[in-house]
Amino acid sequence: MNFRGGLPALILQNLSGGPNHGYRIAQDIKSQSKGVLDFKEGTLYPTLHTLEGKGLIVSHTRTESGRTRCYYELTKKGKGMLAREREEWRRVSGAFNLILAT
Amino acid sequence: MSVTQNILFEPWLKKATDGLTRPVRERIRLEVEAHVADSVERHVEDGLSEIEALVATVSELGDAEAAARRFRRRYLTEKDAEHVKQTLLLFGGGINLIGSIFLDGVAVLELYLTARMGSGAMFNCIWAATVVLMVWTVSATTSWLLARRERFVRNTRWMMLFNLIDDACYFAITISLSAVIAAEMGWMGWLFCIPQNFMFLRRNRSIRVCFKLWRGSSRPDWELPALGKGYF
């Protein structure tokens, strides 16, 4: 399913559960949406870096069993953005329901 | 990473990071390598051979060119970094200092002449030219100061912005002068604009770099490590 523009909100939501790295974020989004939100994983990293540039998330590297991973964590600004994104989603999806459910 | 992984994964990574600066390429490599290793491991656990797992992983990564376009929008490219370096050399150098001092002198002289003049169309023209010249002087001098600072990298955003203001003033003055000369000499007067046309490509890159720096998507502190302390 094409959900262009929605990936940043999904990433922020995923990170609200705690620090996570790119591969696991991608797998979490796919599994939680039961495969409906299937995206090309190569686009995940530019989005993560953009969110980091905006100060919504921060990164730090961690070495686990010989593999260096970059973990991302939500910032205070990111939490605020996530709350606004959720509110916006409720408003928009409510409006769609009103129209399409009839 | 095994030889097979290198053969299949390296072209994707090379394409996705093409044209980016070395620190950025290294960071992306670190992340995507871990991603590929995790993904291959999972596919092998699911029963695929190592080659099948790697093919599936690279396919899941998607179009490298699409990733490259998004990375290039976000980060300074090598050409952008070179442009910043050239701007630093140009603005931090002695010629810019001499130019700034000369402009300071002309601006003060113009201010004096403007103050002595009465009203009228010519007065308004000179007043407008003085304002542009003052802005040009301030931007040129500030750029020189910013470019000379040891920890200039933190000031890259401001330096590139002043570079654009400086360029806009130069543009306004040369176009105005060309118009004045053209009024006297005909179309030949517009030849005065030629240097501006040569700077067109440079200005385009300046705008793009400035946009990346001010949008907050680029991080010059680690994208341009070679331009830091002790550059001069």
pLDDT by 10s per residue, chain B, length 232: 565 566 778 888 999 999 888 888 888 998 998 899 889 989 999 899 888 888 898 888 888 898 899 888 888 888 888 888 888 777 777 777 787 777 777 777 766 766 666 666 666 667 777 777 778 778 777 877 777 765 555 677 888 888 888 888 777 777 777 777 777 777 776 776 666 666 666 777 888 888 888 876 666 666 665 554 444 3
Q: A47 to chain B: which residues are within 8 Å by CB?
A: 70
pLDDT at position B86 is: 80
Helix (H, G, I), strand (E, B) or coil at B38: helix
* Cβ-nearest to B38 among A23, A40, A70: A23
Two tokens, residue B150:
């040891």
Helix (H, G, I), strand (E, B) or coil at A20: strand
pLDDT at A76 over 90: yes
Two tokens, residue A74:
């939500």
* Cβ-nearest to A22 among B16, B31, B60: B31
Q: B157 to chain A: which residues are within 8 Å by CB?
A: none
Chain A residue with the nearest C-alpha to that of B68: A46
Distance CA B197, CA B185 (A): 20
Task: Assess contact for B59 and A38: CB atoms under 8 A.
Answer: no
Q: Which of B38, B63, B215 to mutate to test the interface with A (most CBs of A within 10 A)?
A: B38
* Cβ-nearest to A68 among B34, B70, B71: B34
Torsion of CA B125, B129, B134, B137, to 10 degrees: -170
Average pLDDT, chain A: 88
For the stretch A15-19, contacts whose Cβ atoms lie closer than 8 Å and that sit 24 or more positions apart, written own/partner, are: A15/A57, A15/A72, A15/A73, A15/A74, A15/A78, A16/A74, A16/A79, A16/A82, A18/A73, A19/A71, A19/A72, A19/A73
Distance CA B165, CA B10 (A): 42
Q: B60 to chain A: which residues are within 8 Å by CB?
A: 40-41
Structure confidence by residue, pLDDT tens digits, B13-22: 999 999 888 8
Q: B35 to chain A: which residues are within 8 Å by CB?
A: 22-23, 26, 41
Per the document, the length of chain A is 102
Structure confidence by residue, pLDDT tens digits, A2-46: 455 688 999 999 999 999 999 999 999 988 888 788 778 888 898
Chain A residue with the nearest C-alpha to that of B12: A42
Crossing angle for the helix pair A22-32 and A44-53, nearest 10 degrees?
A: 110
